[in-house]
């Protein structure tokens, strides 16, 4: 008999730590007992309401009159009840960016974000992603083994964003190091966040003097008139949203393609696209497990659940996408999942994230066509924390190949890799 996940000292499900990552679906079942939304401990001494019902999540995400994104409304934080070193503050503390603002402030920042992202050339993005992927593959192709997380998925989005931001070579190498520390969720994470913010400040000053065709230059010169602080927070948000979620998305899609006999067989026969595996991964393994934090502007009800004002309300993207109330025949090609969130705060870079993930997967499958997962599924451990659904490691093996098969002209040069 499987032991149920432990409850917190307050008697509610725990959305952090090893027990959660090992039995996340069981934890979501515990939450569902409370109704469409339930109380959970998301970090030591930090509690929030978590929405697990698909219908309730859609309602909340579209009700901007009742719910705010501004975490300055978080009463427990304002009153000093949230530990200053709580690991959730990096994702939940207020930043003056598109992620945490409402109404006209949000509209102005979203205008700038949408316009800047729309200027990214699809052809250029595919070329950058393929070149970055080949750079990483060239490092492991002769070894016959690799970790799809540390050797590929974690770093690929970093290399792509470094180029999109217009980082000079030396600065790109620093950005990769800072972001790797940031996403480690370990002792170096806080310093990584500081280093990354300082690097963005430095990059903004450089692009004031030497504007280019890049996200940084477009953001600081946008007609919305963003301050340097707003531009920094916007770029911080864009990169943060594009690293772990895209890395996890690629990993779970590759897991499907390598492990699932139906997918692997069809892929080898050329009858299944990578894009379909990506869509199924969004339903089954939403990269953002629990996020889209909102705060009720006043005490309210959500399908019978009392929502007090000033309490964090998270959407469990992982739970709502696997809601038992959803039609059994909905199908994975149906894109009504909430992996991208919904409403006015729906992800602004779906097309770009898809290009990075799809191009990265197609490139690694083309070069390492014979790779196989090296561990059983039960040994694939998730990174701790409430927000992401991301493997710590995903080791694979393949027949060693000559690095000469990847032309030197097709990989990155200098310090960016």
Least confident window among 2-6, 63-67, 370-374:
2-6
Residues 205 and 294 in one domain: no
Provide the token pair at 65. Answer: 């009159």
Would the pLDDT of 229 be above 70? yes
pLDDT at 187: 64
Position with higher pLDDT, 11 vs 240: 11
* pLDDT given for residue 318 in this prediction: 95
Neighbours of 219 (CB within 10 A): 25
Reported as a single tens digit per residue, the pLDDT across 22-73 is: 999 999 999 999 999 999 999 999 999 999 999 999 999 999 999 999 999 9
pLDDT at 405: 84
* pLDDT, mean of residues 228-254: 92
Higher pLDDT, 97 or 175: 97
Residue 258: inside a domain: no
123: left (phi over 0), alpha (psi -120 to 50) or beta: alpha
Asked if residue 393 has pLDDT above 60, the reply is: yes
Residue 152, pLDDT above cutoff 90: yes
pLDDT at 171 over 50: yes
| 270 domain-assigned | no
Q: Which two tokens stand for residue 46?
A: 């930090």
| 232 in the same domain as 150 | yes
Choose among 33, 36, 34, 87: nearest CA to 57: 36
User: According to the model, what pLDDT value does residue 384 have?
Assistant: 84
The tokens of 40 are what? 């959970």
45 and 155, same domain (yes or no): no
Separation of alpha carbons 187 and 71, rounded Å: 25
Of 70-79, 202-211, 379-388, the least confident: 379-388
Task: State which residues form the domain around 375.
Answer: 102-246+340-417
State whether 194 and 134 are in the same domain: yes
Which residue's structure tokens are 């499987």?
Answer: 2
Please tell me the total count of domains within the chain: 2
Least confident of 13-22, 333-342, 355-364, 404-413: 404-413
pLDDT at 404: 83
Based on the fold, state whether residues 408 and 349 are members of the same structural domain: yes
Residue 400: its pLDDT value, please? 96
347 in the same domain as 238:
yes
Residue with tokens 């080791």: 395
Q: What are phi and psi of 288, to 5 degrees?
A: -90, 105
Instruction: Select from 278, 309, 338 the last residue of a domain.
Output: 338
Question: Residues 114-143: pLDDT tens digits?
Answer: 999 999 999 999 999 999 999 999 999 999
CA dihedral (373, 160, 186, 285) positive or negative: negative
State whether 334 and 345 are in the same domain.
no
Instruction: Report yes or no on 266 lying in a domain.
Output: no
Q: Check: CB of residue 136 under 8 Å from CB of residue 98.
A: no
Q: What CATH number is given to the structural domain containing 38?
A: 3.30.43.20
What is the model's pLDDT at position 233? 95
pLDDT for 285 equals: 93
Q: Which residue has the higher pLDDT, 82 or 243?
A: 82
SS3 string, the chain, reads CCCCCCECCCCCEECCHHHHHHCHHHHHHHHHCCCCEEEEEEECCEEEEEECCHHHHHHHHHCCCCEECCHHHCHHHHCCCCCCCCCCHHHHCCCCCCCCCCHHHHHHHHHHHHHHHHCCCHHHHHHHHHHHHHHHHHHHCCCCEEEHHHHHHCCHHHHHHHHHCCCCHHHHHHHHHHHHHHHCCCCCHHHHHHHHHHHHHHHHHHHHHCCCCCHHHHHHCCCCCCCHHHHHHHHHHHHHHHHHHHHHHHHHHHHHHHHCHHHHHHHHHCCCCHHHHHHHHHHHCCCECCEEEEEECCCEEECCEEECCCCEEEECHHHHHCCCCCCCCCCCCCCCCCCCCCHHHCCCCHHHHHHHHHHHHHHHHHHCCCCEECCCHHHCCECCCCCECCECCCEEECCCCCHHHCCHHHCCCHHHC
The arrangement of strands across the sheet holding 37-43 comes to 37-43, 46-51, 312-315, 291-296, 67-68
Q: Is residue 278 part of a domain?
A: no
Contact 407, 138 (CB under 8 A): no
In a domain, 279, yes or no: no
- Give the CATH number for residue 155: 1.10.630.10
Taking the CA of residue 55 as centre, how many other CA atoms within 13 Å lie in the half-sphere pointing to its CB?
A: 9
Q: How confident is the model at residue 186 (pLDDT cuts 50, 70, 90)?
A: low
Distance CA 267, CA 265 (A): 5
What is the reported pLDDT for 416? 47
Q: Are residues 148 and 198 in the same domain?
A: yes
Query: 347 and 326, same structural domain?
Result: no
Tens of pLDDT along 297-341? Answer: 999 999 999 999 999 999 999 999 999 999 877 777 777 899 999
pLDDT at 263: 64
Sign of the dihedral through C-alpha 52, 56, 60, 62 = positive
User: If pLDDT is split at 50, 70 and 90, which confidence band does 12 have?
Assistant: very high
Q: How confident is the model at residue 174 (pLDDT cuts 50, 70, 90)?
A: confident
**Is there a single domain that holds both residue 357 and residue 220?**
yes
Q: How far apart are CA 238 and CA 215, in angstroms?
A: 10
Residue 265 lies in a domain: no
Q: Residue 266: what pLDDT?
A: 63
Do 157 and 208 share a domain, yes or no?
yes
Determine, yes or no, domain membership for 251: no
Looking at the structure, do residues 322 and 384 belong to the same domain, yes or no? Answer: no
Query: Is position 164 within any domain?
Result: yes
Residue 330, exposed/middle/buried by CB under 10 A (0-12, 13-18, 19+)? exposed
User: pLDDT of 248-300, one tens digit each?
Assistant: 999 999 999 998 766 666 655 554 688 889 999 999 999 999 999 999 999 99
pLDDT beyond 80 at 180: no
How far is Cα 128 from Cα 165, in angstroms, rounded to an integer? Answer: 12
Q: How far apart are CA 188 and CA 87, in angstroms?
A: 12
* Last residue in a domain, options 338, 353, 372: 338
Structure confidence at residue 184 (pLDDT):
57
């Amino acid at each position: 008999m499987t032991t149920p996940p432990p409850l917190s000292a307050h008697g509610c499900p725990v959305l952090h730590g090893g027990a959660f990552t090992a039995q996340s679906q069981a934890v979501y079942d515990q939450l569902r007992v409370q109704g469409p939304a339930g109380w959970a401990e998301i970090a030591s001494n930090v509690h929030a309401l978590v929405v697990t019902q698909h219908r309730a999540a859609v309602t909340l995400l579209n009700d901007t009159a009742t719910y705010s994104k501004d975490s300055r409304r978080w009463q427990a934080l304002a009153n000093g009840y949230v530990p200053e070193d709580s690991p959730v503050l990096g994702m939940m503390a207020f930043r003056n960016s598109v992620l945490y603002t409402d109404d006209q402030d949000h509209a102005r920042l979203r205008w700038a974000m949408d316009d800047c992202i729309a200027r990214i050339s699809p052809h250029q993005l595919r070329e950058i992603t393929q070149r970055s992927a080949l750079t990483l593959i060239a490092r492991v192709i002769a070894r016959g083994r690799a970790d799809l997380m540390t050797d590929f998925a974690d770093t690929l989005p970093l290399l792509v964003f470094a180029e999109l931001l217009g980082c000079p070579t030396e600065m790109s190498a620093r950005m990769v190091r800072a972001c790797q520390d940031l996403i480690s969720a370990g002792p170096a994470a806080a310093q990584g966040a500081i280093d990354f913010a300082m690097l963005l400040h430095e990059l903004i000053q450089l692009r004031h003097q030497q504007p280019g065709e890049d996200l940084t230059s477009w953001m600081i010169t946008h007609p919305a008139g963003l301050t340097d602080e707003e531009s920094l927070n916007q770029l911080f948000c864009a990169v943060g949203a594009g690293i772990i979620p895209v890395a996890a998305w690629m990993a779970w899609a590759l897991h499907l393609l390598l492990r699932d006999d139906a997918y692997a067989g069809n892929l080898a026969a050329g009858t299944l696209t990578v894009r379909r595996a990506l869509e199924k991964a969004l339903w089954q393994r939403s990269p953002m497990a629990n996020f889209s934090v909102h705060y009720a502007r006043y005490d309210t009800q959500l399908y019978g659940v009392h929502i007090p004002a000033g309490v964090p309300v998270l959407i469990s993207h992982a739970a709502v996408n696997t809601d038992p109330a959803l039609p059994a025949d909905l199908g994975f090609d149906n894109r009504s999942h909430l992996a991208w969130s919904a409403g006015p705060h729906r992800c602004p870079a779906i097309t770009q994230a898809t290009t990075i993930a799809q191009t990265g997967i197609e490139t690694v499958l083309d070069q390492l066509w014979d790779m196989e997962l090296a561990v059983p599924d039960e040994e694939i451990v998730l990174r701790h924390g409430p927000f992401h659904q991301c493997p710590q490691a995903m080791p694979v093996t393949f027949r060693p190949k000559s690095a000469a098969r990847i032309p030197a002209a097709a990989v990155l040069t200098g310090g960016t890799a």
